[in-house]
Structures are given as structure tokens and as C-alpha cells.
Amino acid sequence: MIEARDLHKTFGPKTVLAGIDLSVAQGESLCVIGQSGTGKSVLLKCILGLVPPDRGEVLWQGRPLDRATRPDFLRRFGMLFQGGALFDSLTVWQNVAFRLRQRMADANARAIAIDKLRRVGLAPETADLMPAELSGGMAKRVGLARAIADDPQIIFFDEPTTGLDPIRARRINQLIRGIVRETGATAITITHDMASVRAIGDRVAMLQDGRIAWQGAASAMDAAPELAEFLGKTPA
């Protein structure tokens, strides 16, 4: 359903992506792992068109993602950003219902937003708070509620558990797993948290030096020598 072909990206002298080939089938949950600075977030932004690749292309349903097809893609898309990326000037419900408010009355949009907030474990009273009043974990949940507000078919998660304590991280992983399974959405998760990978991923791709160093089923991770160091195992 989503396919990256031969993606290259350099920033000045630094090559971040050096020919990435990757595909995600419809309804599949792919986790992209790798050390910090290996280009995981750049890959996500290249797929989204937020950062134009120097070479290569991204296909969605067999068609190149370009100016003509990207609006349609984005309409079916939701994303949880690393820091939540909530709009400071809007309340929680206005953040969650941001896209909905552009096509329906506020009362209806608010009702859907509150329903989504409940779905991620937040009380309706949260709806009228401002983002500055939320804890890190709550902001992530609100970001998650915004990502799923319009029932997307494709969801990207950028470092969903970064900055959270283990208990909140586990809860976020459970929520993501539940949402992805429930909605049947295609998911791409960027993370270096192996607990997230085990909880969320069907398949795993490891980025190293701008290339895919290994990819396979999440269940095959432990047996992959390429991942031994990353998983904290002593190389044989």
C-alpha cells in the first residue's frame, strides 16, 4: 500500500538516507528502528512530503505520492508526533477536532473529540484544558486522539513512548496496539523502544547508515544477528 523506492537524502555533507527501499502492506504495522540520528524521522518526513527526497519516490496504492495525490493521502492519514505537536492556542477538544471542525458544526466535532479522548483514556473534563496544562503523558494521548479523530486508514507514530515513564509508555503501547488492531489501519512506527516494537509491530525494519540493515517479522527479531547489538545481546 505504501512503498518507498530508492530514497536518498543528504543534509550538507551528511548523507541521511542512502537508498531506502521499503513497503508496508495494507493493515500491516511496521516498526522502523535504529539508533538516534540514523534518519528514521527523515524517512517518515520524506514519505509524508514534509522533506523532499533528493532521489527516489514514494508510492501509495501504486501511484506516486505527489502534489496531485498527496491531499487524498493526507485525508486518510493521522499522525502522532514525538512531542504531541498540539496547537498551543487551541483547547484540547479543538486540537482533537481540528480537521473535523473544517467540515462540521462545532457541537458535532466536540462530541466526536470527547469520544476519541475517552478512547485514549482521558476524561471528558480534559476537553476544555489548554495544552500547556497537560502532563507529557496526557499530551501524547491527546496527540493520539487527534491522530485517530477522523478514522484514518494510515497512521504514523513518531517515537510514541519517548519521554514517558515505563508505566505510561506501556499504556501508550497498549492503546496504539488496540487502535491499530481495532481499526485495521496501516501503521508505521518510528521508535528505538523495543517494548514498543514488541507491542505494536507485525514487521520490523532496522535503519543503519542510511540503509535498511535488516527487515523481517517482529517474531524473528531475536534470532537476527544484525539486531543483536541493538537488542542489547552480546554478539556471538
Cell 477538544 belongs to 93
Piece of 27-35, 81-89, 108-116, 161-169 that binds other proteins (CB under 8 A): 81-89
Binders of other proteins in range 35-74 (CB under 8 A)? 45, 48-50, 71, 74
List all residues 6 or more positions away from 113 whose beta carbon is below 8 Å from its beta carbon: 92, 93, 94, 96, 97, 100, 127, 145, 149
Piece of 27-35, 82-90, 171-179, 191-199 that binds other proteins (CB under 8 A): 82-90
Residue 18 or 85 having the CB closest to other proteins: 85
88 sits near other proteins (criterion: CB under 8 A): yes
99 sits near other proteins (criterion: CB under 8 A): yes
Cβ contact 168:162 at 8 Å: no
Minimum distance, C-beta of residue 103 to other proteins, in the bound complex (Å) = 10
83 sits near other proteins (criterion: CB under 8 A): yes
Cβ contact 146:96 at 8 Å: yes
Take residue 30 and report the three cell numbers written for it. 511496521
- Cβ count near 201 (within 10 Å): 26
Residue 142 or 221 having the CB closest to other proteins: 142
Minimum distance, C-beta of residue 28 to other proteins, in the bound complex (Å) = 20
List all residues 6 or more positions away from 178 whose beta carbon is below 8 Å from its beta carbon: none
Residue 48 or 228 having the CB closest to other proteins: 48
Distances in Å between the alpha carbon of 168 and those of 11, 22, 80, 126, 193? Answer: 35, 30, 16, 17, 13
Binding site for other proteins (CB under 8 A): 45, 48-50, 71, 74-75, 77-79, 81-83, 85-89, 98-99, 102, 146, 156
